[in-house]
C-alpha cells in the first residue's frame, strides 16, 4: 500500500469515484527473508528496476519514490489548515500484497477501512467505526464513496502529489540537497530544499517522510511482511 510505503502508497484516481491503481511490487529491504507473507519469494535486486541506492541525485530519490512495495507501513499525517479550513491530523496504515490492499485511517472521530482488489482495480469493502464502536462494513462500492474516501486518505502519499511537489526540484541547480538517513528502522535517501520541502525514501520504495505544501507525513513503521489480517476487513464482533 506510497507509503514510500505502499501505497502505498496506494492511489485512487479522480474525485468522482475513480478506481484504485495497483502498486508495483519491488524488492524488500535487505536483509530479506526467503519468502513473503504471500508465500512467494521476494524479488531479487537483479529482477527489479535499476535504481541507485543510496541515491546521489534528486532524480534518483524521486525514482525510488515511484516504486510501490508490498508490505505494511504506518504514518502520522498532519495537513495544515487555513482561514476557512481547519487543519487535520490522522494516522494511516497502508498494507498490500500482490493482489490485495487495505487502507486503515484513524482519526479522533473514528476509523475507516477500505479494501482494494488490485488486479481488477476495484474497492472490495468499506468499513467505518465511530470511536469506541464496532465497525460496520459493506461490500463493494456502489456509490463510489469508498474510492473517494481512499483518494482523500492516500492523496498525501500518492504518486501525483509526490511528482507535482518534488519533480521541479530535480531541475534546480542550487538550494536542493541529497543525503542519507535512517527512519522507521530502515536506511533512506532524502531530497531536501532550502525552502523547506523534504522527501525520504527507502531502497524498496517506502516513503518515510514528506514535508511540503502544508503537509507532513512521517512513517512510524515499515515492513515488507504483510499478513492476511492486515488485508482483511476488521472484525465486526
pLDDT of amino acid 155: 66
Mean pLDDT of the region 60-66: 89
The band of 146, judged by pLDDT with boundaries at 50, 70 and 90, is: confident
Burial 14-27 (b: 16+ CB within 10 A, else e): eeebbbbbbbebbb
Instruction: Specify if 212 maps to a domain.
Output: yes
pLDDT of amino acid 108: 86
- CATH number of the domain bearing residue 20: 2.50.20
Instruction: Specify if 126 maps to a domain.
Output: yes
Q: How far is CA 236 from the centre of its chain?
A: 26
pLDDT of amino acid 9: 34
Domain of 117 in residue numbering reads as 6-30+50-227
Residue 8 pLDDT > 50, yes or no?
Answer: no
More reliable by pLDDT, 194 or 8: 194
Instruction: Specify if 42 maps to a domain.
Output: no
Instruction: Specify if 178 maps to a domain.
Output: yes
pLDDT of amino acid 194: 87
Instruction: Tell whether pTM > 0.85.
Output: no
Which span out of 5-9, 112-116, 209-213 was modeled with the highest average pLDDT? 112-116
Count: domains in the chain: 1
Instruction: Specify if 35 maps to a domain.
Output: no
pLDDT of amino acid 43: 40
Q: Which of 110, 114, 109 is nearest to 137 (CA)?
A: 114
Instruction: Specify if 44 maps to a domain.
Output: no
Instruction: Specify if 219 maps to a domain.
Output: yes
More reliable by pLDDT, 208 or 195: 208
d(CA 20, CA 192): 29
In the structure grid, which three cell numbers stand for residue 61, read together? 530519490
Which tens digit of pLDDT belongs to each residue from 122-143? 899 999 999 889 999 999 888 8
pLDDT of amino acid 81: 77
Burial 33-70 (b: 16+ CB within 10 A, else e): eeebbbeeebbeeeebeebebbbeebbbbbbbbbbbbb
Percent of the chain with pLDDT over 90: 35
Bridge partner list, 115:
102, 125
The band of 227, judged by pLDDT with boundaries at 50, 70 and 90, is: very high
Instruction: Specify if 196 maps to a domain.
Output: yes
Average pLDDT for the chain? 76
pLDDT of amino acid 237: 61
Which tens digit of pLDDT belongs to each residue from 150-201? 777 666 777 777 888 888 888 887 889 999 999 999 999 999 988 888 999 9
82: number of CA atoms within 13 Å, CB side? 4
Rg (CA), the chain: 17
pLDDT of amino acid 48: 54
Amino acid at each position: 500500500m506510497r507509503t514510500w510505503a505502499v501505497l502505498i502508497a496506494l492511489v485512487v484516481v479522480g474525485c468522482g469515484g475513480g478506481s484504485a491503481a495497483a502498486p508495483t511490487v519491488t524488492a524488500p529491504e535487505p536483509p530479506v527473508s526467503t519468502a513473503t507473507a504471500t508465500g512467494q519469494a521476494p524479488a531479487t535486486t537483479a529482477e527489479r528496476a535499476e535504481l541507485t541506492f543510496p541515491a546521489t541525485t534528486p532524480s534518483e530519490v524521486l525514482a525510488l519514490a515511484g516504486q510501490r512495495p508490498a508490505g505494511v507501513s504506518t504514518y502520522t499525517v498532519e495537513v495544515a489548515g487555513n482561514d476557512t479550513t481547519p487543519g487535520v491530523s490522522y494516522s494511516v496504515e497502508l498494507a498490500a500484497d500482490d493482489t490485495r490492499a487495505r487502507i486503515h485511517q484513524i482519526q479522533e472521530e473514528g476509523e475507516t477501512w477500505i479494501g482494494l482488489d488490485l488486479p481488477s482495480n476495484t474497492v472490495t469493502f468499506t468499513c467505518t467505526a465511530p470511536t469506541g464502536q464496532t465497525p460496520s462494513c459493506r461490500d463493494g462500492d456502489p456509490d463510489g464513496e469508498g474510492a473517494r474516501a481512499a483518494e482523500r486518505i492516500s492523496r498525501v502519499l500518492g504518486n501525483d502529489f509526490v511528482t507535482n511537489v518534488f519533480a521541479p526540484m530535480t531541475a534546480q541547480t542550487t538550494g536542493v540537497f541529497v543525503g542519507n538517513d535512517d527512519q522507521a528502522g530502515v536506511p533512506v535517501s532524502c531530497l531536501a530544499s532550502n525552502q523547506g520541502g523534504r522527501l525520504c525514501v527507502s531502497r524498496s520504495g517506502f516513503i518515510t517522510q514528506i514535508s511540503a505544501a502544508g503537509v507532513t507525513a512521517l512513517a512510524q513503521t515499515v515492513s515488507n511482511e504483510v499478513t492476511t489480517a492486515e488485508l482483511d476487513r476488521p472484525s465486526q464482533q
